[in-house]
Amino acid sequence: MIKEENGKIELVGWAENVRNLGGIAFITVRDINGKYQVTVLKDSNPEIFQRLSDVKAESVIEIKGTEKKNEKAVNGYEIIPQEMNLLTIAEQPVPLNLSEKVQSSLDKELDFRFLSLRKPKIASAFKIQSTVSNAIVKFFEDSGFYQIHSSKIISQATEGGANVFQVVYFDKTAFLAQSPQFYKQMMMAAGFEKVFEVGPVFRAEPHHTSRHLTEYTSVDFEMSFINSHEDVMSVLEQMILRIFKEVKSRNQKDLDLHGIKLEDPKVPFPRITIKEAGAILEKYGNKLKDDGDIDPEGERILGQYMKEKYGSDFFFLTEFPWSIAQFYHMKKESDKAVTNRADLIYKGLEITTLAQREHRYEVLINQLGEKGLDKEKFGFYTDFFRYGVPPHGGAGTGLERIVKQMLNLENVAEATLLPRTPERLIP
C-alpha cells in the first residue's frame, strides 16, 4: 500500500531484499501494485542505515519519506526514508524462492500458496481472473439477466452419472452439485426468462490432467424463448467480447508479465460439426473416439486448424451425437441422431458446453428412458415441465479455463486460487 499526501509518501509492503553497498543501501519493497525502491544514505539516515540488518526478506515494513526522481529506479523515482518501522519479521529461510527468475515446481508453489501469490506474475493471473469475473457479471446484468444463487447440496446427480461427491445429509445421502443445470431450468419454468450464476461446481472425476479439477468455478446462464442453440452461441460471443474489452482496459501490466497481446475476437465465431471435425482429424492422423466424441488431442488439432483457416482462437463444435448427450438436450429436428448442443473451443481447449434443452414434457420423459434413467428419481425436475415451460437453452463455462487459455498457462491449477484435484485437498 502506498499513499501520497502533501509531498509525503507512506509505503507499507514486503521487503523483498536489501542491498547494502557500504555508504548507500537499497531496499526493494513490494505491494499488490508493484515494486518500489527505497534509498538509504548512511550519512543522511544513520539510524535507519544501522537498522537495515534487522530487515529480513519478506518482512512487512513501513516507510515514511519523500519522493525523488530517479530514471534508473523501477518506477522512475526512489523513496528517501525519514522513518522506518518493522511491522512483522519473517522467519528465515523463506520456504519458497520468490524470485521471478526461479521456477519452483507447481506442487511446491501450491503448497505455499500464500507465498507464491506474492510473485507479481503469479498474482497477475488472479487480478485478470477478477476482471474476467466482474466483466461477466456486468455483461449479464447489462443484458437483462437476473443473477441467482442455487443450492450446491442436491438430492440427485445432475447428469445422472457416478462422478459425484456424496455427502451425509443428516439421515440421507446427498450430493455436491455437478452443475446448477436443473435450477437454471427451474427459473425458466418460473418465468424469469434470463438468469445467470457464477459459482462452484464439483466433479468426482479421477482425472490427472492439466485441464481438470474436482472443483471449479462455473459461469452458467439460461435463457427462454430462443429459436435454437444459435441464440445461446450469440450470447456467448458477446460475453467473450466483453471479457476481452475489460481485461485490455484494466490489466495491461498483468498481460505484459505474460507477454500477451490481446486482440478482440471476431464474431461470429466459426462453426464446425462433429462430423466435419472427424473428417479433418483423419487428415492429421487423429479421429473421433468410438462414442463419437472428440479427445483433447483432437481439440488441440482443430484449434490449430481453425486458427490457420479462419484466424480465430475461438470456434464452436456443433451437432454432438445423441449417444453422448445428456437426457435433457434437444435432438435436432431434421436428424434425431444428433443434438442442438455445441462446445466453445478456445485455443484448442473446450471452455464451454451449451445446448438447447428439451422443454416438452412427454419428449423429456421418453429421453430419460432412452438413457436408462429412472424417471421417478428425476420427478422433482420433470415436474417443472408439466405446467408450461418455454423453449430455452443455456451454457456452462469454466472460469479458470478462460484465464488459463488467455495467458497460455500450462495447467488449469495455475489459474485456480486453491486447486482441488484427486491428490490435493489443502491448503
Mean local confidence (pLDDT), 50-61:
95
Second CATH level (architecture) for the domain 2-88: Beta Barrel (2.40)
Mean local confidence (pLDDT), 405-419:
97
Q: Cα–Cα–Cα angle for 152, 154, 159, nearest 5°?
A: 100
- Looking at 3.50.50.60, 3.30.930.10, 3.40.50.1000, 3.40.50.300, the CATH number of the domain 114-415 comes to 3.30.930.10
| Residue 97 reports pLDDT greater than 80 | yes
Q: Give 7's pLDDT tier (boundaries 50, 70, 90).
A: confident
| pLDDT reported for residue 158 | 61
pLDDT tens for 117-149 read 999 999 999 999 999 999 999 999 999 999 999
Alpha-carbon gap, residue 327 to 81, rounded angstroms: 67
Length of the chain: 427
Which residue ranges make up each domain of the chain?
2-88, 114-415
Average pLDDT across the chain, whole number: 94
Residues 6+ apart with CB under 8 A from 425: none
- Strand, coil or helix: what is 421? strand
Mean local confidence (pLDDT), 59-73:
93
| Residue 261 reports pLDDT greater than 60 | yes
pLDDT-above-70 percentage for the chain: 99
pTM: 0.94
Contact yes or no for 61/95 (Cβ under 8 A): no
Q: Give 102's pLDDT tier (boundaries 50, 70, 90).
A: confident
Contact yes or no for 172/373 (Cβ under 8 A): no
Mean local confidence (pLDDT), 203-220:
92
| pLDDT reported for residue 213 | 95
| pLDDT reported for residue 184 | 97
| pLDDT reported for residue 160 | 55
Q: Give 207's pLDDT tier (boundaries 50, 70, 90).
A: confident
Of 324, 355, 321, 352, the closest CA to residue 340 belongs to: 355
Helix ranges (H only) for 3-105 are 46-50
Q: Give 75's pLDDT tier (boundaries 50, 70, 90).
A: confident
Contact yes or no for 38/63 (Cβ under 8 A): yes
| pLDDT reported for residue 161 | 60
pLDDT tens for 278-294 read 999 999 999 999 888 99
- Strand, coil or helix: what is 132? helix
Q: Give 156's pLDDT tier (boundaries 50, 70, 90).
A: confident
| pLDDT reported for residue 100 | 81
90-104, 325-339, 390-404: least confident range:
90-104
Mean local confidence (pLDDT), 200-229:
94
| Residue 157 reports pLDDT greater than 80 | no
Angstrom distances, CA of residue 214 to CA of 202, 207, 239, 423: 6, 8, 25, 10
Helix ranges (H only) for 143-180 are none
Mean local confidence (pLDDT), 240-268:
97
